[in-house]
Amino acid sequence: MTESIDISSPPSSTQAREKLKITLTGSQETAIGTLVARAIDAKSANSILNDTNAVQVIDQIDHDFDKFRVNESHATMYGRRTIRIDRWTAEFLSENPEATVVHLACGLDDRLRRLQADLTKVRWIDVDLPDIVELRTKLIPNPEGDYRLIAADATDTSWLKNVPNDRPTVIVCQGLTMYLEEESGKCMIRKIVDHFNSGQLIIDFIGTVLLYIQDQVDTLVATGASFKWGVDDPKSVEALHPQLKMVDCLGSSELGENAQLPLGTRLLVSNYADVPWLRYLSSYLRFTF
């Protein structure tokens, strides 16, 4: 049984504000599960992300957080994935200080503040479904500078018409593809790469084995969401567009920060690379285009 973890801040001496009731369901509700993971990580003595803003957002929400069954080990696994994507994004911005960042399926992740992007130079665009965007605007203030929050289905790429392609662009896509129909996801990637002149695609996938055991994934059980698309050969993503060239491909065992995992989880993860169907149980990829 997963231990319940207190992720709230101590009560304030001032009168508490009324908390927001969350009515999201399905894949949209998974944004709350990842928020819980970031908050638990932030409260940890060995935090990977140090995303204290996640705790502030949690404090504004009235929801059954325990149903996601996120413990410190889960939060650490999530942190390992997220910090890798953060670091790749930061590297791109270091090399292209006047770039565009498009953060697909941003959810309630304030990646912009975590990376401390300079919005006097960087154009940052967060994209998510209208219900998520409406909730996000109530919980996370929009920053000053060159920032936009777009309410759209990422696979309905008409939103791209309103996004300039005049700069090197990094597309950050974490925790989205597995909820998409395969053909919709592939079409989305093609159209995004077509739209921008140059840049990088930072993206993650699950392996097809997870499609068959998803009834054991706590987040899916909690929300009623389902996985639909799995990729066993990350290199095959290159075939979606002639401009895509893979420069990094990491499985779960290769993300780093392994020492912060509990011993049992560390030993389990360390064996993933040696088992073909486990090596890319989840994969974290960086492409240039």
pLDDT at 92: 98
pLDDT at 248: 97
pLDDT at 159: 97
Give the strand pairing for 245-251 and 169-173. Answer: unpaired
HSE-up of residue 56 (Cα within 13 Å, Cβ side)? 11
- Tens place of pLDDT per residue across the chain (289 aa): 344 456 655 554 334 568 999 999 999 999 999 999 999 999 999 999 999 999 999 999 999 999 999 999 999 999 999 999 999 999 999 999 999 999 999 999 999 999 999 999 999 999 999 999 999 999 999 999 999 999 999 999 999 999 999 999 999 999 999 999 999 999 999 999 999 999 999 999 999 999 999 999 999 999 999 999 999 999 999 999 999 999 999 998 888 776 777 767 777 777 776 677 678 999 999 999 9
Give the domain ranges of the chain.
21-68, 83-288
- The letter for the amino acid at 123 is R
Helices and strands, counts by H and E, the chain: 10, 9
Helix axes 72-95, 26-43, angle to 10 degrees: 90
pTM above 0.75, yes or no: yes
Residue 242 gets the label, from left (phi > 0), alpha (psi -120 to 50) or beta, of alpha
pLDDT at 257: 75
pLDDT at 14: 34
What would the two tokens of residue 286 be? 């960086």
**Model confidence pLDDT, tens digit, residues 247-277:** 999 998 888 776 777 767 777 777 776 677 6
* CATH number for the domain running over 83-288: 3.40.50.150
pLDDT at 1: 38
